[in-house]
Amino acid sequence: MGVTDNRTIPEVLREWRRPRHDDFEPRNVWSLLNACTEALKGNLIELPRRTDALHGLLDNHVGLAAPLLN
């Protein structure tokens, strides 16, 4: 999948369990997305690729079709 590496998983779990922002308290796909993106912010070189992989994974999970590129 390429969303994260093993070193980032503990930070994702911390953000999931105790979000920095109250708006991310509900346990849903949106708060999972935010937990992951908070944890991924540290590596700006990998951020675009990993964020794209994360969106693809979550979009697929909730049944969103990827847009067609012309």
Whole-prediction pTM: 0.77
Structural domain that includes position 30: 9-62
**pLDDT for position 14:** 95
- The whole-number pLDDT of residue 68 equals 57
For residue 29, being part of any structural domain is answered with yes
With a cut of 70, which residues of the chain have pLDDT below it? 1, 66-70
> How many helices (DSSP H) and strands (DSSP E) are in the chain?
3, 0
Question: Is 1 part of any domain?
Answer: no
Distance between CA atoms of residues 6 and 68, nearest Å: 32
Could you tell me if residue 2 is inside a domain?
no
Residue 37 in any domain: the answer is: yes
pLDDT in the model for residue 17: 95
